[in-house]
Amino acid sequence: MALSQLNVEITPLLTTLGVAGLATALALQDTLANFFAGLYLLADRPVRVGDYVKLDGGAEGYVVGVGWRSTKIRQLANNVIVIPNQKVAQSTITNYHLPEPRMSLLIPVSVSYDADPDHVERVLLEEATQAAGQVQGLLAEPPPMVRFIPGFGDSALEFTLICQVREFVDQYLVQHELRKRILRRFRAEGLEIPFPQRTLHLDPRLVEDLHLPGPPGSAARAGPQT
């Protein structure tokens, strides 16, 4: 070779070039990974600018930008999170705007066992239907539903009010307003929201040893002491 004829050692030169190339490749590894991940995000579009998303790492908010290196997410607190595209591409993503922004909102409601289930269902439907024209973000269509689910709780009859909201962030105001309306209507209708109840059974011998008062009438049933 020409370099050999000029008494230039080739082996050290090739070694130097190889080490430099390896160092450059390692330095660009993350950059290239983020670049190709960015191409994937732009082509596959699991997230789009304007979508409300949640990543399995906990990041949650509106997508405000997808660049060649990173994705920017604006939280509801108005902070922006900058996430490398490689991490976004490797994450499990919940996109609350796909297939469409509209979503179901489930509100659990508990009432006393003395309540008539049909009465409860009617009251909940009336309040949700009326609120649909007054509460921002609450949709009238599809119409609200009530299901007697989970059903028979430990201390209450448990219902679920199901309604539709315009998008993910609307659920907070809708829940706030509906809960207030339901509480006022329940009070007006005489429907009770019970507190959890527990019945404690004590061994009579333990009660006697601890000198605790027994249940009403227990002394009379015990008979005279000798």
φ/ψ of 140, rounded to 5, equals -85, -25
Assess whether 130 and 164 both reside in one domain.
yes
pLDDT the model gives residue 25: 46
Domain boundary, last residue among 99, 121, 155: 99
Global model pTM greater than 0.85: no
Burial per residue of 93-108, b for 16 or more beta-carbon CB atoms within 10 angstroms, e otherwise: bebbbeeebebebebe
- Structural domain that includes position 9: 1-99
SS3 (DSSP) at 217: coil
Total domains, the chain: 2
SS3 (DSSP) at 199: coil
Q: What is the CATH number of the domain that holds 91?
A: 2.30.30.60
Assess whether 19 and 36 both reside in one domain.
yes
Reported as half-sphere exposure (CB side, CA atoms, 13 A), residue 188 has a value of 9
Q: What is the pLDDT along the chain (226 residues), one digit of tens a residue?
A: 554 555 545 555 455 545 545 444 444 456 666 665 667 777 778 889 999 999 998 899 999 999 888 899 999 999 999 999 888 888 899 999 999 999 999 999 999 999 999 999 999 999 999 999 899 999 999 999 999 999 999 889 999 999 999 999 999 999 999 999 999 999 999 999 988 777 777 777 766 766 656 555 555 444 554 4
Tokens, residue 103: 């979503």
For residues 50, 56, 59 and 64, what is the CA-based torsion angle, rounded to 10 degrees? Answer: -20
Assess whether 84 and 111 both reside in one domain.
no
SS (H, E, C) 79-107: CEEEEEHHHHHHCCEEECCCCCCCEEEEE
Domain boundary, last residue among 99, 116, 142: 99
Q: How many Cβ atoms are within 10 Å of 199's Cβ, its own excluded?
A: 4
Domain boundary, last residue among 56, 74, 99: 99
